[in-house]
């Protein structure tokens, strides 16, 4: 049996990125101090101070609700350095709440008291790939599966590879998660070598937790809530042509795919490897029908959990589902 070459890829960092703490006021002192500080209007009726602290965080207020808020990256907040982009373990959310309290006091000159809830917390995990094409293939493999009651939006680069894959709510288009080429975005790594997975969480008021409670929770299901479509499949992979054949045979041997179906898809892989979509060109039918035929073959492979990637080495296989599971496991309590 052909030995598939799984790519050199691993989780290198996980934790909390952006966090927003809410401070509810029992009197007018801190709110009056906020109003006396230079500020501007923001979205949803928010007021935002012009000044930012050393962490680069924003101090906001909803005076009608007696609310002061501090929002920043948790790593930057704890380090007091706006250039700090590190991911921080959830257990540090309590220390972050204290730092946010001091940050607000520094900006408005009045102590807002203790944080009562976390309004927003973004969880992130970073993957390191040994070769750029492996990471690009990983991103491309996320495009073909959409979670229930959501939509997938893709931003592609000049090389036609996915650069960012968004999962958004179906109706309003609110971002739930995104997976993107962090190395390319920040200019730190060649394309495809450093990929970040982010889960953006803004729970409604009735479902918000205090920093003390949130810091103790198992957040794996929260981080992975938009990834179940990739994990419910037997195994989602990106594969070079030879590895795709090996994966199809493995599925047939396990009984997850009939041999007849595997044989049909292996034939599609051979045609696509030899001639690309042009291999399905039939001069007797319309261009539209030719495109439909090739698209059906590619969809058949995706339904089997395989994204065929001609830019990968022929025997290379990128284990998309495994990498997502590894990232989710980082947030287990």
Spatial separation of the C-alpha atoms in residues 148 and 151, rounded to whole Å? 8
Spatial separation of the C-alpha atoms in residues 190 and 104, rounded to whole Å? 38
**Which one of 35-39, 167-171, 249-253 scores highest in mean pLDDT?**
35-39
Region 268-276: mean pLDDT is 88
- Using a 10 angstrom Cβ sphere, with 0-12 exposed, 13-18 middle and 19 or more buried, the burial of residue 202 is middle
Burial profile 143-171: b = 16 or more Cβ within 10 angstroms, e = fewer: ebbebeebebeeeeeeeebbbbbbbbeee
In the chain, domain spans: 5-11+123-227+322-329, 19-121, 238-320
C-alpha dist (Å) from residue 50 to 61, 123, 221, 306: 12, 27, 37, 50
Spatial separation of the C-alpha atoms in residues 14 and 168, rounded to whole Å? 22
- pLDDT of residue 1 exceeding 50, the answer is no
What percent of the chain has pLDDT above 90? 69
Q: How confident is the model over 107-139, as pLDDT tens digits? A: 999 999 998 899 999 999 999 999 999 999 999
Query: Which is nearest to 70 in space by CA: 96, 44, 39?
Result: 96
Q: How confident is the model over 174-199, as pLDDT tens digits? A: 999 999 999 999 999 999 999 999 99
Spatial separation of the C-alpha atoms in residues 19 and 16, rounded to whole Å? 7
Take residue 237 and report the two structure tokens written for it: 């992979």
Domain 19-121 adopts which CATH fold? TATA-Binding Protein (3.30.310)
Residue 114 pLDDT: 92
What is the pTM for the complete model shown?
A: 0.89
Burial profile 10-25: b = 16 or more Cβ within 10 angstroms, e = fewer: ebeebbbbbbbbbbeb
Three-state SS at 151: strand
């Amino acid at each position: 049996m052909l030995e598939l070459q799984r790519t050199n890829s691993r989780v290198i960092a996980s934790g909390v990125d952006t966090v927003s703490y809410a401070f509810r006021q029992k009197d007018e002192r801190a709110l009056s101090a906020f109003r006396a500080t230079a500020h501007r209007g923001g979205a949803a009726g928010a007021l935002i101070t012009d000044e930012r602290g050393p962490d680069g965080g924003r101090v906001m207020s909803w005076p009608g609700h007696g609310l002061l808020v501090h929002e920043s990256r948790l790593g930057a907040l704890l380090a007091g350095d706006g250039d700090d982009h590190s991911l921080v373990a959830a257990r540090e959310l309590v220390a972050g709440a204290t730092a946010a309290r001091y940050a607000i006091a520094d900006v408005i000159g009045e102590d807002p008291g203790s944080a009562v809830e976390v309004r927003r917390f973004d969880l992130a995990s970073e993957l390191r790939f040994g070769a750029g094409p492996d990471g690009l293939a990983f991103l491309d493999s996320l495009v073909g599966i959409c979670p229930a009651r959501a939509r997938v939006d893709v931003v592609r680069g000049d090389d036609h590879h996915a650069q960012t894959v968004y999962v958004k709510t179906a109706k309003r288009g609110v971002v739930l998660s995104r997976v993107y080429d962090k190395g390319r975005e920040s200019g730190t790594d060649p394309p495809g070598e450093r990929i970040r997975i982010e889960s953006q969480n803004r729970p409604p008021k009735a479902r918000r937790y205090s920093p003390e409670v949130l810091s103790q929770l198992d957040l794996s299901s929260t981080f992975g809530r938009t990834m179940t479509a990739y994990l419910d499949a037997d195994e989602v992979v990106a594969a070079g042509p030879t590895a795709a054949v090996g994966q199809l045979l493995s599925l047939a041997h396990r009984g997850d795919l009939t041999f007849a179906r595997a044989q049909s898809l292996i034939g599609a892989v051979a045609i696509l490897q030899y001639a690309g979509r042009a291999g399905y060109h039939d001069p007797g039918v319309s261009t539209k029908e030719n495109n439909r035929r090739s698209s059906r073959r590619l969809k058949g492979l995706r339904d089997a959990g395989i994204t065929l990637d001609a830019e990968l080495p022929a025997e290379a296989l990128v284990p998309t589902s495994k990498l997502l599971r590894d990232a989710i496991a980082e947030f287990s309590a």
